[in-house]
A and B are shown apart, each in its own frame.
Chain A
Amino acid sequence: MIVVIDYNIGNVKSVCNAFRHIGCEVELSCEPQAVKDADGIVLPGVAAFGYAVRALGSLAELVKEVTLSGKPLLGICVGYQMLFDKSSEYGQHNGLGLVRGNVVPIPPGRVIPHMGWNLVKLPEDMDLFAGLGSEKHFYFAHSFYAEVADSQARVAFTDYGFDLPASVQKANIYGTQFHPEKSGETGLKILENFAQICRQKNPT
Chain B
Amino acid sequence: MLTKRIIPCLDVKDNRVVKGVNFLNLRDAGDPVELGARYSDSGADELVFLDITATIRSRKTIVELVEKVAENVFIPFTVGGGIQTVEQIDELLRSGAEKVSVNTAAVGNPNLLAEAAQRFGNQCIVLAIDARRSKERPGKWQVCIKAGSEPTNIDVVEWAAKGEKLGVGEILLTSMDADGTKAGYDNELNKAVTDAVNIPVIASGGAGTLEHLYDAIVDGGADAVLMASITHFGNYTIKQIKEYLASRGIAVNL
Contact = CB atoms under 8 A, between A and B. Distances in A.
Interface stretch (A12-20, A56-64, A68-76, A145-153): A12-20
B233 interface: no
A17 B96 contact: yes
Given A116-B200, A116-B223, A116-B224, A14 B96 contact: yes
A182 B74 contact: yes
Given A14-B70, A115-B223, A47 B120 contact: yes
Interface in A156-192: 159-160, 179, 181-185, 187-188
Given A11-B97, A141-B76, A141-B98, A113 B118 contact: no
A108 B199 CA distance: 11
A185 B40 CA distance: 10
A118 B31 CA distance: 30
A18 B4 CA distance: 25
Given A111-B198, A115-B223, A47 B121 contact: yes
A21 B95 CA distance: 16
B158 interface: no
A181 B74 contact: yes
B71 interface: yes
Contacts of B170: 113, 115
A115 B45 CA distance: 11
Contacts of B74: 17-18, 21, 181-185, 187-188
A143 B98 contact: no
Contacts of B122: 113, 143
Interface residues of B, number: 39
Interface residues of A, number: 42
Given A11-B94, A179-B76, A119 B121 contact: no
A116 B199 contact: no
12 contacts: A46-B120, A48-B118, A111-B198, A116-B2, A116-B200, A117-B3, A118-B2, A118-B3, A139-B75, A143-B122, A182-B76, A184-B43
Interface of B: 1-5, 40, 43, 45-46, 67, 70-71, 74-76, 90, 93-99, 117-124, 169-170, 198-200, 223-224, 253
Contacts of B118: 48, 51, 90
Given A47-B120, A119-B1, 12 more contacts: A18-B74, A47-B119, A78-B121, A89-B121, A113-B123, A116-B224, A117-B2, A137-B253, A143-B122, A159-B1, A160-B2, A187-B74
Given A116-B200, A116-B223, A13 B96 contact: yes
B120 A10 contact: yes
Please name the 7 residue pairs, one residue from A and one from B, whose CB atoms are nearest each other, closest first.
A10-B93, A141-B123, A117-B253, A137-B253, A113-B123, A48-B121, A182-B76
A112 B93 contact: no
